[in-house]
Amino acid sequence: YTDWENPKDGYKYQKAVADVVGDYFFICPSTHFAQLFADRGMKVYYYFFTQ
């Protein structure tokens, strides 16, 4: 999703890249690790914070 109100706002692009990099290095590996545990019958608790 792109906020078309101000498409040349560099900060928004910077934040979007930071979100992608954060997901790639933290969210994706932790989700994969949690799925491996769950596949082996272990209890997994996953918290998702929005703030």
The count of residues in the chain is: 51
Binned at pLDDT 50, 70 and 90, residue 4 comes out as: low
The Cα 21–Cα 33 span in angstroms is: 18
The Cα 36–Cα 18 span in angstroms is: 26
Percent helix, strand, coil in the chain (nearest 5)?
A: 60, 0, 40
pLDDT at 12: 84
pLDDT at 3: 64
pLDDT tens-place string over residues 14-41? 888 899 999 999 999 999 999 999 999 9
pLDDT at 2: 60
Binned at pLDDT 50, 70 and 90, residue 8 comes out as: confident
Burial state string for 15-42 with b = 16 or more CB within 10 A and e = fewer than 16: eeeeeeeeeeeeeeeeeeeeeeeeeeee
pLDDT at 20: 92
